[in-house]
Structure 1
Amino acid sequence: MRQRRNKAATSAKLQADPKMKAPELPERDWHVMTLAWWADVWASPMAPEFDASDRHGLFVLAVLIDEFWVRPSKDLAGEIRLQRQSFGLSPIDRRRLQWEIERGDEANERTRKRRAKPAAKEQETSADPRSILHAV
């Protein structure tokens, strides 16, 4: 019997690796925001997924981001957006790659409570509006 499994090859649950060390950026006078971005990328849960060949693309992206901080432009922002998709650096990119960031119990509890609130409000406001009508 044939069954469809709908399994994704890229599906993964990501967890930050505190031992992960950011590679050195090439010698250059980097903008302070670019350096902060570089540190954030390598401290993120996506970093363990990057292999040696990804570093070259991240170096190119760092140069684009550095240029953006020096001379911001709409075209440069668009190119950065396109380039960062490959590395799962935004929530929608991670969704596309089917990467999920592993969260602690506390974060899961907050998420559960946040999702439960709209359902409770909906029940309060979904009372039958005809119940306040009366004959005159």
Structure 2
Amino acid sequence: MPGQLPKEDPARRNKSTSKATLNPDHDVQAPLLPKGRTWDWQTESWWRDIWASPMASEYDDSDKHGLFRLAVLVDDYWTTDNANTRVKLAAEIRQQGALYGITPLDRRRLQWEVARGDEAEQKNRRRTAEQAPPATGDGAPPQPADPRQYLHLVPDAEAM
């Protein structure tokens, strides 16, 4: 019979295979950086940070090899004196880092969310309350200033 074939399983469309809530408290131990190279202190600091981050719980043994290669790129970035080389390395670091959820945007693309502890949520609520404008006193929430009310203060370009 002519016409469209039915979809295999519409309930499975757009399902994320990498969606995860990352716990900042984990017991993942950072592997040692490979020997035979003197690592820049900034690379060593980056390496410790990566393995102390919530993303470390998502890495498996096969990811270590790619992270070792990324560490070499990061080390070359910090040790090169050539600006053109540094630009090329930064671009490659950005691309390779995306595979491992290094930046917040990368984690969002992977649908990785860092679990927020009670302390972090309390800090967020406190910061939000500190940034809120004061109440008007009548119980109504304060109204934001309408920038259009200041248009009469802008000089007319044709009058100049």
Higher helix content, 1 or 2: 1
Q: Could you say which TM-score interval applies, normalised by the shorter chain?
A: 0.7 to 0.9
Paired with 2:14 and 2:130, the residues of 1 have a C-alpha distance of: 32
* 1:74 paired residue number: 87
Paired with 2:33 and 2:77, the residues of 1 have a C-alpha distance of: 17
Q: Is the CA contact 1:14–1:45 (under 8 Å) kept in the aligned structure 2?
A: yes
TM-score (structure 1 length as normaliser) = 0.80
Q: Structure 1: give runs of 5+ residues left out of the alignment.
A: 130-136
* 1:38 paired residue number: 47
Partner residue of 1:125 out of 141, 145, 148: 145
Q: Which has the larger radius of gyration?
A: 2
Q: Is the CA contact 1:15–1:45 (under 8 Å) kept in the aligned structure 2?
A: yes
How many residues are matched? 129
Q: Is the CA contact 1:41–1:47 (under 8 Å) kept in the aligned structure 2?
A: yes
Change (3 A) 1:128 1:35: closer
Q: Structure 2: give runs of 5+ residues left out of the alignment.
A: 1-9, 135-141, 150-160
Q: Which runs of 4+ in 1 moved over 6 A?
A: 116-119
Deviations 1:9-63 (A, max 9, x none): 2111101344221001110210000000000000000001001110000000000
1:93 aligns with 2:106: yes
Q: Is the CA contact 1:45–1:101 (under 8 Å) kept in the aligned structure 2?
A: yes
Higher relative contact order (CA 8 A, sep 6+): 1
Partner residue of 2:27 out of 19, 25, 36: 19
TM-score (structure 2 length as normaliser) = 0.69
